[in-house]
Amino acid sequence: MALAVEALERVARTSVPLKLRVILVRHGKPAIATNPRTGHHGFRRYIDAYQDAGLDPKSAPPEELLDLVKGLNAVFTSFAPRARDSARTLLPSAEMIADPLFEEAPLAAPRIPLLKMKVPIWAVMARVMWHAGYHPEIENYRRAKARAAAAADILMQRAESNEGDAVLVAHGYFNAMIGRVLRKRGFRRTGSHRVRFWNAVIYERD
């Protein structure tokens, strides 16, 4: 009798559709100035320095984000120091799964001499040019888009095998690219992708 009841409970559990939730988090503030003024040579050096920077020790995740991910047993991240440090800060007891698949969509410094701008303006210009086809010796948009689709696959598979949840702590623009893939696959979005450290966006599907 007990075995029959257990079997019925198992069938009931498997017959209820699993609600999937994927949480995409941008890393915290890196340990580097984020708004200096520079020329195109300086911006090229800044890109490399930004990639090497870890998390600013003073940058802590907000309480609402800590509550959102509380109890999760694994966190995906890229190999970038700022992302790995952020993942460990956010979920110190969880398994950390670092994968280059989650690296930020790259930027190349536009060669515009005699022009000095703040780094965020350079970054916007570089991103627009990247979409327009300027990708010297870096990954192009088509390949980054395919990588985002593969990243979405991994996160969905993890959610399906992990009681419905998966969390990624990575990079703002690439997170948004993954999010577009998830939307096309029927996920609902809560929140928006903003240029803000520790920004979190939730994708859910019944």
Residue numbers of the chain with a pLDDT score lower than 50: 3-5, 7-8, 11-15
Q: What is the pLDDT of residue 11?
A: 46
pLDDT score at 3: 47
**pLDDT value, residue 8:** 41
Query: Given 3-state DSSP classes, what are the helix, strand and coil percentages for the chain, each rounded to the nearest 5?
Result: 45, 15, 35
Is the CB of residue 87 less than 8 Å from the CB of residue 66? no
- The predicted pLDDT at position 50 comes to 97
- pLDDT per residue as tens digits for the range 6-47: 544 554 444 456 799 999 999 999 999 999 999 999 999 999
Q: What is the pLDDT of residues 58-73, one digit of tens each?
A: 999 999 999 999 999 9
Please indicate, yes or no, whether the overall pTM of this predicted structure exceeds 0.75: yes
Predicted pLDDT at 163? 87
pLDDT on residue 129: 97
Question: Residue 38 phi/psi, 5° resolution?
Answer: -160, 170
- Of 190, 101, 104, the closest CA to residue 149 belongs to 101
The full set of domains in the chain, from first to last, is 18-34+55-107+138-205 (3.40.50.1240)
